[in-house]
Amino acid sequence: MPKFDISLAAWSLHKMFFAKEIDQMGMVDFTAKHGITGFEMVNTFFPSPQYAYLKQLKQRADDNNVKMLLIMCDGEGSMASPDATGRAQAVKNHHKWIDIAAILGCHSIRCNTGAREGDAEAQDRCAESFASLLEYADANSINVTIENHWGLSSEPDWLVGLMKRVNHPRFGTLPDFGNFPDTIDRYDAVQQMMPFAKALSAKCYDFDDQTGDETKIDFKRMMDIALSAGYSGYVGIEYEGERLSERDGILACKKLLEKLQQLEM
């Protein structure tokens, strides 16, 4: 049996979305058409958070046997803001996405920290903000995750330190294979993040035409790290390449992940 399942991150289709060639409903259809069983949404792709739309989106996913997994939340304020009022507003802004995640049957939302390099007190402020958000998330049984998404969140020591400070069972990481500065060893960083992982993002850019391997990231090494840490959830395809079309990049990543599913790892 496969040790992990494969999902599709909506961001993989962002070029088509911004070109108005596909909407979020169409992304669910695309996911099902290509034999992918999980879908990860982006909050800025929602046309409206109104209940009628959410009901239709959930029905479309159910009809296609696609599981809605999580919502990646951007643009909702900084959880590390030096201004207490700004932090409180950022926490409140995420409440609606926790509500929406619960309606859609998701297990998590993904948040940004807003923490920037050189801010020695950012971890203190983030810990306060996320502890507050988790009180709300608890009531909805939704996890709150942080992806290495630049700034201090892409510094594994800092992010793991935040996980330990908040120390909440619904608080975790969403390791992304990319999104690390050149000064960080991506494999060591993902290994540090995996004990707290509640989802996993297979960031990819291009693939070798002969072997099918990703040209920048050793996927087998990454999946060895993840599976050795006991991970057995979904691995989300997040294609951000330029050479292949979004469709072809997604399918190339799916083929590589399917090959890794069959290996004894």
pLDDT-wise least confident of 18-32, 45-59, 153-167: 45-59
Q: Which pLDDT score is estimated for 3?
A: 87
Domain of residue 190 covers 5-261
Mean predicted confidence (pLDDT) in 18-28: 98
Q: What total of structural domains would you count in the chain? A: 1
Q: Which pLDDT score is estimated for 177?
A: 98
Provide the CATH number for the domain around residue 41. 3.20.20.150
pLDDT, one tens digit per residue, over 94-127 is 999 999 999 999 999 999 999 999 999 999 999 9
pLDDT, one tens digit per residue, over 43-63 is 999 997 788 999 999 999 999
Phi, psi for residue 15 in degrees, rounded to 5:
-65, -45
The single residue listed with the structure tokens 């793991």 is: 160
Residue 135 makes CB contacts below 8 A (sequence gap 6+) with none
- In angstroms, rounded to a whole number, what is the distance separating the alpha carbons of residues 214 and 217? 6
Helices and strands (H, E) in the chain, number of each type: 9, 8
CA distances from 199 to 40, 60, 80, 177, 265 (A): 10, 23, 23, 12, 19
Question: Percent of the chain scored above 90 by pLDDT?
Answer: 95
With both helix axes pointing from N to C terminus, report the angle between 186-193 and 156-166 in degrees, rounded to the nearest 10: 10
SS3 call for 82: coil
Radius of gyration for the chain, computed over Cα atoms and rounded to the nearest angstrom: 18
Residue 262 makes CB contacts below 8 A (sequence gap 6+) with 2
For all residues of the chain together, what is the average pLDDT? 96
pLDDT at 265 over 70: no
Global pTM reads 0.95
